[in-house]
Amino acid sequence: MIKKEQYKQARETVNEYEKQMDLSVVNGSTCWIMHRTTDNLIYVTTDEEYANRQYKSGDYIMRQSQIFNPLYY
């Protein structure tokens, strides 16, 4: 079981990481959601060429979407 001090330290670390993330850089960017049908692996990429190569392999279902941060809306 995690101790109270360990939890507090972990929360502080997460808060620091969140402050360092500049989501405005990718906010509104086009992304591709990739679903590998052989083992149900799902991931998101912002690299269109890579997404197309993976899709053409026949192992993936691909969906186009947009990245957004709801805090900006």
What predicted TM-score, i.e. pTM, was given to this entire model?
Answer: 0.61
Q: Pick the residue with more confidence: 71 or 73?
A: 71
* Residues 6+ positions from 34 with CB-CB distance below 8 Å: 41, 42, 43, 44, 45, 51, 54, 55, 60, 61, 62
16 lies in a domain?
no
- Mean of all residue pLDDT scores within the chain: 87
| Confidence bin at 22 (pLDDT 50/70/90) | low
Report the number of distinct structural domains present in the chain.
1
Domain that holds residue 37: 23-72
pLDDT in tens, 28-64: 889 999 999 999 999 999 999 999 999 999 999 999 9
9 lies in a domain?
no
Residue type, 53: R
Instruction: Determine which helix (DSSP H) or strand (DSSP E) holds 45, and give its type and residue range.
Output: strand 41-45
